[in-house]
Amino acid sequence: MEKGRAREFDEFVAARWSALVHLARLLVGGDRHQAEDLLQESLVKLWFVWPRVADGAPEPYVRKVMVRAAARSRQRRWWGERPVERMPEAAVAGDVSADVAERSRLETALARLPPKQRVAVVLRYYQDLPERQVAEALGCPVGTARSHAARGVARLRQLLAEMNEPVR
């Protein structure tokens, strides 16, 4: 690949890394390390086709690769240790614990959705993609993508309600 194209690729990765790693984290159910692995795997695939997609739409391409890879990796689940980035520290100035708890609750519920429903919900409502693009990423008709999203939201509501019920 010529140096100009390589620089364009580097600039794309630098500009979109944060948003893409966050999307990957939602797709894999919250694990940051798995999310970074997923994104890096997807960016390697993007690198090989960069000359063809650089002038078009590289982000939808890498998003589609991530969605498919996340669905495949979900099928071969690993139950081992889960490393953390840092040890817990003292509370930060200002109490954000309620926000963090709510976000954690939502991510836990998202992780319990079936993979296609989770992908449809994340792409449709977090990434705010139109149904057509969600369908393209999932590789299915628009009606099926709409159905996955609707069922995913309904199941998400059910899971969140169950999480609010007191333990008996």
Domain-wise residue ranges, the chain: 1-76, 97-168
Instruction: Decide if pLDDT at 80 tops 80.
Output: no
Mean pLDDT across the chain: 82
At 91, is the pLDDT very low, low, confident or very high (cuts 50, 70, 90)? low
* pTM assigned to the model: 0.56
Q: Tell me the CATH number for domain 97-168.
A: 1.10.10.10
Instruction: Decide if pLDDT at 77 tops 60.
Output: no
Calculate mean pLDDT across residues 146-154: 93
* Three-state SS at 86: coil
Structure tokens at 132: 């057509």
Calculate mean pLDDT across residues 42-53: 86
At 155, is the pLDDT very low, low, confident or very high (cuts 50, 70, 90)? very high
CB burial class (10 A; 0-12, 13-18, 19+) of residue 146?
Answer: middle
Rounded Cα gap, residues 152 and 144, in angstroms: 12
Rounded Cα gap, residues 37 and 41, in angstroms: 6
